[in-house]
Structure 1
Amino acid sequence: MENKTKKPFIVMAVTFILILMIFFISLNLGVIRIAPLETLQVFFGQGTARDGLVLFEFRLPRIILSLLVGAGIAVSGAILQSVSQNDLADPGILGINAGAALAVVLFIYFFQGSTADLSFLGTLILPFSALAGSLLAAFLIYALAWKKGVTPIRLILVGIGVNAGFNAILLIFQLKMDPQDFMQATIWISGSIWGANWKMIWAVLPWIFILLPFTLYKARYLNILHLGDQLATGLGTAVEKERRILLVTAVALAGSCVAAAGGIAFLGLIAPHVARRLTGPRHQTLIPVSALIGALLFLFADTLARNVLAPSEIPVGLVISILGAPYFIYLLMKTN
């Protein structure tokens, strides 16, 4: 019993150590290689101006944003899987990310004019526009999937359909952009944080720091909802009220992450599943472990994306899809 109690903390400690290792490796790797000793010198104010510029203006913002986005998407997936009682639920697969991406592209197209140079105010507004798009997508998915209840496979199929529809509308607006903006929007929609900067971190940070603790506060309701509606009602839970609150939380997390990193599929599916296998279904431990695993996977995938074909770069969303698609197929084959 004592081992079971300690296991989640051991998993969190090991995951945190792995994150620190990849954090420092990612700081060192890139088109401009910076040795570990030189990296430490920069942090202590003794490095060269060039190394300081590379680390503080390019690599460090990207690494921090990777950690925030990875944690946010993972927790969003954990919420969706419990609330829908569907192990295949993921904001990328269900079309929620596509709705958020469409809203962001529309905002940029009509109000900003260029994806390359968003104003600081425009950057702060991006998560709100993404939230509106993801809420619209979530509403459409549940409305179309509802037929005397929502079955897991029906939810997945409707989500895939809504995802395809939003992507088609996205393509229409992309074709109306000038060639440079079209290419940047295409890379961003595939999942990319190549343009990470400190103002984007400040735009995303409040959403993650508020919604992750709130989700942990609601962990006991997630435990109850995961048992099924009848049992949850029998235990005195206001099922629909709690479901709506948690769904909005999941959608807000996914939307803010899409605003920063574009469409990231499968991460919200993989991280909660791995966390559940390692620590069990209790959301008091599942939520923080999912956040850490999501941050670890995203940072690892982004490090690969930056360096495998350097100086060229692969969108991180494609790397995560390569890693996650086989696992999704495996889960789909196991589902009755």
Structure 2
Amino acid sequence: MTSLLTPTEAPPAPPAPARSARLAVLVAALLGVGTVLALVHLTQGTSSIGPGDVLGLLWGGHGDGTVDVVVAARLPRLLAAIVVGVALGLSGAVLQSVSRNIIASPDTLAVNAGAHLAIVAVAAFGVSLPMFGAAGVAFLGGLGAAALVLMLSGAGGTGTARLVLAGTAIALMMVALKTTLLLLFAQETRGLFAWGEGSLEQNGLSGVTTFAPVVAVVLVALLAMSRRMDLVYVGDDHARALGVRVTAVRATAVVLAVLLSASAVVLTGPIGFVGLAAPALIRLLATAVPRLHRHAVLLPVAGLAGAVVMITADVLLRALIGSQRALEIPTGVVTTILGAIFLVVLARTLRVSGSAAEPPAAGVRAATSRTRYLVLLTGLVVLAVVVAGGGALLGDAKLLLGDLVNWVSGQAGPIVSGVMDNRLPRVLAALLAGASLALAGAVFQNVSRNPLAEPGIIGVTGGAGIGAVVVITLVPLSGFWLQAGAAGIGAGVAAALVFLSAARRGFASDNLVLIGFGVSAGTNAIIAMLITLTDPWNESKALTWLSGSTYGRTFEHLVPMMVALVIVVPVLTYLRGTLDLLSLDEETPRLLGVRVPGARLALLVCAVVLTGAAVAGVGVIGFVGLVAPHAARALVGRRSARVLPVAALLGAILVCVADLIGRSVIAPAQLPAGLVTAIVGTPYFIWLLYRGRR
């Protein structure tokens, strides 16, 4: 699979004066747009200060009220947007060059997630690190995350899909750990949820004056090594032949990029997608402005573009919803939504070579014998029963096997009956949700011919989450069935958006993953915006639901998942051969008489129904649909007739064990099953990526 930034032979360069003129026009346009938007930005606020007042102040006016409002309140926000935009634009440009991949950024390399986790952990545990401070803590967290992602994905253009998958897996685990700390230490981490979406609100100029010099110094250091970065970007062998220490240059560049991103995180919180969109836009202009191929030009222009993007997002936010309400919505939500749209458009237009074959990391084995398969299937069924029994007996109140027998026979006392009436629906909900998500993941992977597809990664889970959260937040007295219907509609809309967009490139692996990543990020940002606007003082309720919890589930909540499985499983059983054919290529099923569009649509509807039902029943649980099918193929081979039941059992066991751990480890407090699933399942998939990194 090729990188999106693999250097190619450039077209004939125009004369030098033309190149300089084009660059000058680009820089002037960015500066002009940025200046106009900055003036507009200063006029936006809750106080009635218009453009004339701001211009009068710039021309030497002495309106005390204007000075107080502009300098004390609006100028810090504007300067923070500029500093953070420049930092993220520079950071994204450097990371894209180091990995030779146009979608590398502080978001996709989990830098922001690592920095945020480090800050939340320090706040939760009350750790004092005077030698580091907040910036040092964020830097160490971001650097560790970036190093892990680059190690797993491989630097130097080894594949966009692998980079996205590695970054998503690491970020998922870190977000799960962060959310766990936010739930367990709600008082110590008060306010860090909204801050985690990226807010430009400032208390004076102290933060800007602290980090602006850091950004300036890093920019100078990057410009000093720009020539070596040019040579490394062209090729490692070429750079070494010219005496460049490639490893040292890459390591230094990554450290400086993470320092920029960490500074931005400390100043405003994690701001999404600016570090991806701004430098990517500039790189796309490189064919028209040839000098942009040189890092001495690319880096400052990318930083300038980042500042313009940040100011634009903040101006749009306050223009669309008003200055008063804009105080409640983090600017990072807007940048993430805009960046997600940009990524989807970019992914639809990119032409990527390479197939969507099963990666070596999946460890797919040859088909097992029928006897071995039946033994394995029986063992998994027994294990699922044992896990379900353990889930029924263990928790904040531990029961004995005799209590369970008495309850089944109707002879249990009121205490045991009360515990079982509350606990058994939770166990069954975990089993059904795990099986549903695993089946949905297997279908998505086969239909798209993409082993990286999964309800969460390709945005379907996020779409279901939006549907349910909209109903929960806007119609607080809504019943469960309305929430379930909304989740199903949201899942269907997200799936339609992803697959219709990816169909233009024949469901190419890179394109599908990029589109799904963008949709997933956009849905998460919209969910955060809904929570912030409608229920900012009750973060725990929303976090618990969004993290996938079986708490408070009754038998009524099981009905959608049971109905979905009863309807979908026979369909999947009937279409198991078609599912195998669709996973091969586009032509083979047509030659064998399969109506590909209809079959693909039917299977996708099945997967969407399963995902929507699972989200309606237990909330958002990620990663199960990715890990379970991979593990199933590693055990029984590729045939869907065997993969589907094994994956369903593995998914059910995984979620049930995660729910049991969440209810037992810190009893009487509880952790949502989705958090435990991510924490437990991510290391497994990281190990798979590590095995196949070469």
* Shared fold per TM-score greater than 0.5: yes
Alpha carbons 2:474, 2:534 under 8 Å: kept: no
| Aligned pair partner of 1:37 in 375, 387, 402 | 402
Amino acid paired to 1:135: G
What is the Cα deviation at residue 269 of structure 1?
A: 0.9
Using the alignment, how far apart are the partners of 1:313 and 1:218 within structure 2?
A: 40
Q: Which residue of 1 aligns with 2:386?
A: 21
Q: Which residue of 2 aligns with 1:12?
A: 377
Using the alignment, how far apart are the partners of 2:614 and 2:493 within structure 1?
A: 16
Q: Which residue of 1 aligns with 2:135?
A: none
**1:53 lines up with 2:418 in the alignment:** yes
Alpha carbons 1:266, 1:328 under 8 Å: kept: no
1:155-185 superposed Cα distances (whole Å, 9 cap, x missing partner): 1122111111111111111123345754212
SS at match of 1:13: helix
**1:86 lines up with 2:443 in the alignment:** no
Using the alignment, how far apart are the partners of 1:330 and 1:145 within structure 2?
A: 28
Using the alignment, how far apart are the partners of 1:199 and 1:176 within structure 2?
A: 30
Alpha carbons 1:123, 1:203 under 8 Å: kept: no
Alpha carbons 2:463, 2:491 under 8 Å: kept: yes
Using the alignment, how far apart are the partners of 2:652 and 2:522 within structure 1?
A: 29
Amino acid paired to 2:568: L
Using the alignment, how far apart are the partners of 2:673 and 2:474 within structure 1?
A: 27
Taking the TM superposition and a 5 Å limit, the aligned residue runs for 1:267-286 are 267-286=624-643
Alpha carbons 2:439, 2:647 under 8 Å: kept: yes
Alpha carbons 1:219, 1:283 under 8 Å: kept: yes
| Aligned pair partner of 2:587 in 224, 227, 230 | 230
**1:63 lines up with 2:427 in the alignment:** yes
Residues 180 and 205 from structure 1, CA distance in 2 versus in 1: closer, same or farther, beyond 3 angstroms? farther
Residues 247 and 335 from structure 1, CA distance in 2 versus in 1: closer, same or farther, beyond 3 angstroms? farther
What is the Cα deviation at residue 261 of structure 1?
A: 1.4
What is the Cα deviation at residue 323 of structure 1?
A: 2.2
Amino acid paired to 2:412: G
**1:106 lines up with 2:463 in the alignment:** no
SS at match of 2:465: helix
Using the alignment, how far apart are the partners of 1:308 and 1:198 within structure 2?
A: 25
Taking the TM superposition and a 5 Å limit, the aligned residue runs for 1:260-299 are 260-299=617-656
Alpha carbons 2:368, 2:637 under 8 Å: kept: no
Alpha carbons 1:191, 1:264 under 8 Å: kept: yes
Alpha carbons 1:19, 1:296 under 8 Å: kept: yes
**1:134 lines up with 2:491 in the alignment:** yes
**Worse overlay, 146-155 or 75-84:** 146-155
| Aligned pair partner of 1:170 in 493, 512, 527 | 527
Q: Give TM-score scaled by structure 2 length.
A: 0.45
What is the Cα deviation at residue 147 of structure 1?
A: 4.3
1:11-42 superposed Cα distances (whole Å, 9 cap, x missing partner): 11100111111112111111111122222122
What is the Cα deviation at residue 45 of structure 1?
A: 1.8
Using the alignment, how far apart are the partners of 1:260 and 1:326 within structure 2?
A: 26
1:143-162 superposed Cα distances (whole Å, 9 cap, x missing partner): 44344322212211221111
1:226-263 superposed Cα distances (whole Å, 9 cap, x missing partner): 11112121222111111111111111111110111111
Structure 1 residue ranges (4+ consecutive) displaced by more than 6 angstroms after TM superposition: none
Using the alignment, how far apart are the partners of 2:535 and 2:419 within structure 1?
A: 30
1:69-121 superposed Cα distances (whole Å, 9 cap, x missing partner): 1110000001001001111111011111000000011122233x15xxx5xxx
What is the Cα deviation at residue 54 of structure 1?
A: 0.8
Taking the TM superposition and a 5 Å limit, the aligned residue runs for 1:162-311 are 162-178=519-535, 182-311=539-668
SS at match of 1:176: helix
Q: Give TM-score scaled by structure 1 length.
A: 0.91
Q: Percent identity?
A: 35
Using the alignment, how far apart are the partners of 1:331 and 1:34 within structure 2?
A: 37
**1:145 lines up with 2:502 in the alignment:** yes
Amino acid paired to 1:25: G
1:256-282 superposed Cα distances (whole Å, 9 cap, x missing partner): 101111111110111111111222211
Using the alignment, how far apart are the partners of 1:73 and 1:163 within structure 2?
A: 16
Alpha carbons 2:433, 2:618 under 8 Å: kept: yes
Q: Which residue of 2 aligns with 1:96?
A: 460
Using the alignment, how far apart are the partners of 1:185 and 1:237 within structure 2?
A: 44
Using the alignment, how far apart are the partners of 1:321 and 1:294 within structure 2?
A: 12
Using the alignment, how far apart are the partners of 2:390 and 2:546 within structure 1?
A: 27
SS at match of 1:256: helix
SS at match of 1:129: helix
Q: Which of 1 and 2 has higher RCO (CA within 8 Å, sep 6+)?
A: 1
Residues 8 and 127 from structure 1, CA distance in 2 versus in 1: closer, same or farther, beyond 3 angstroms? farther
Using the alignment, how far apart are the partners of 1:178 and 1:142 within structure 2?
A: 33
Q: Which has the larger radius of gyration?
A: 2
Amino acid paired to 1:304: I
Q: Which residue of 1 aligns with 2:436?
A: 72
Residues 228 and 335 from structure 1, CA distance in 2 versus in 1: closer, same or farther, beyond 3 angstroms? farther
Stretches of structure 1 lacking an aligned partner (at least 5 in a row): none
Alpha carbons 1:73, 1:253 under 8 Å: kept: yes
Residues 80 and 296 from structure 1, CA distance in 2 versus in 1: closer, same or farther, beyond 3 angstroms? same
Alpha carbons 1:71, 1:291 under 8 Å: kept: yes
Using the alignment, how far apart are the partners of 1:265 and 1:90 within structure 2?
A: 9
Aligned residues: 328
Using the alignment, how far apart are the partners of 1:179 and 1:26 within structure 2?
A: 33
**Worse overlay, 181-190 or 223-232:** 181-190
Using the alignment, how far apart are the partners of 2:674 and 2:552 within structure 1?
A: 14
Give the superposed CA RMSD. Answer: 2.1
Using the alignment, how far apart are the partners of 1:240 and 1:203 within structure 2?
A: 27
What is the Cα deviation at residue 142 of structure 1?
A: 2.6
Using the alignment, how far apart are the partners of 1:38 and 1:183 within structure 2?
A: 33
Residues 8 and 125 from structure 1, CA distance in 2 versus in 1: closer, same or farther, beyond 3 angstroms? farther
SS at match of 1:82: helix
**Worse overlay, 275-284 or 296-305:** 275-284
